[in-house]
Amino acid sequence: MGRLTAWFLLKDAKRLGADCRLSLFDKDSKTHGDAAAFTAAGMLCPYAELEASEPLVFSLGMHALSLWPDIADAMPHDIGFRQRGSLVVAHSNDISDWHHFRHTLDHKLKPFETEQGASHQQTLEQNALQQREPSLSQHFQRALWLPQEACLHSSETLRALQIALDNAGIEWHENTIADHVSAQTVRCGQSEYHFDTVIDCRGLGAKVDQPSLRGVRGELIALYAPEVTIRH
């Protein structure tokens, strides 16, 4: 979040011809770390997540999704951005959960349907699934296709942002913990830094200033499956 925010600030400053000096504080090294961003799955799926989220979160997610094609094009190397949609499937024992998921999305998406009546989701029976994803059609009778969703490679995105920010000459404070952050001040141990504006992107690191914050555990598994061909 911090790297992307810094990148957008530099981009807008350049567009406006404004002088912008940026400092980025990172508790990890710029090349690796244990921040959530390094282990994020990179799924840009506001539709799939709507089943358990609020309409406002969906609207914000859709706006963010619309920004990613231009972000990917501006990066110094391929970040693995692919917008091929998502397929939601279920084995026969879980088909009732699949129907519940589909009906919940259908209900929550009604206010967002376009005037032209375009659908945000499509149910693919086995023949249609065979055309779109042959490997899945051998094991599933139907799928829910969410055509606008996308994905990216989180680690490559962070690396590309690092290169872009380094090339822009920002002041990068690596392995530096921000103990306290206010609107114009960052305190790191005995050192204090003053700015016109401070944007707090620490995530759970801000718990010292906001005790009510709580983390949500997540895990990422990387699979090597050369005999499996799935495009989505």
149-200 pLDDT, tens digit per residue, is: 999 999 999 999 999 999 999 999 999 999 999 999 999 999 999 999 999 9
| Residue 185 and residue 200 in contact, taking contact as beta carbons nearer than 8 Å | no
Over residues 99-113, mean pLDDT: 91
User: Could you tell me the fold of the domain covering 1-42+153-232?
Assistant: FAD/NAD(P)-binding domain (3.50.50)
With a pLDDT cut of 90, the percent of the chain lying above it is 69
Asked if residue 117 has pLDDT above 60, the reply is no
Over residues 87-108, mean pLDDT: 95
pLDDT of res. 128: 94
Helix and strand element counts for the chain (H, E): 8, 10
Spatial separation of the C-alpha atoms in residues 154 and 152, rounded to whole Å? 6
Looking at the chain, the domain(s) classified CATH 3.50.50 span: 1-42+153-232
Spatial separation of the C-alpha atoms in residues 43 and 98, rounded to whole Å? 19
> Per-residue confidence at 99, pLDDT binned at 50, 70, 90?
very high
Q: What is the largest CA-CA distance in the chain?
A: 65
- The DSSP letter of residue 122 is E
